[in-house]
Amino acid sequence: MEEHELEYFKDFLTAWLEELRHSAGNTVEGLLNVEAISADFVDCASFESDRSTALRIRDRESMLIKKIRRSLEDIENGEYGICEDCGAEIAIARLKARPIAKRCIQCKTKQETLEKMMGV
């Protein structure tokens, strides 16, 4: 992969990481604000449902943050854009669609097929 392409992905991943961190901070702040809780059963149930959804979203974003950090480490180590299964270069189009991709499209397709067959 060329230097300008690596720089593009580094900038993109860094901006994405900052956006997720900012979003997570706002959610935590909102979850800690319990002044809006009402004594009404329906309001409490709605609040808990919203809180549960927000926590699930933050959990997914936490996993995404870890993947972004690993991708940034891969850029620094010269391993970004290399398939972890076959060692081939991951296509730029795939990385633009999924900047945290760790497998080329052939290996990812193979992995998903195996998972489907195993019922995972």
pLDDT tens-digit readout, 20-61: 988 876 665 566 655 555 667 787 788 788 888 888 888 899
Q: Domain 1-80 belongs to what topology?
A: Four Helix Bundle (Hemerythrin (Met), subunit A) (1.20.120)
What is the per-residue pLDDT for 53? Answer: 85
What are the residue ranges spanned by the domains of the chain? 1-80, 81-120
Whether residue 113 is predicted with pLDDT greater than 80 in this model: the reply is yes
Tell me if 21 sits within 8 A of 65, measured CB to CB: yes
d(C-alpha 53, C-alpha 91), whole Å: 35
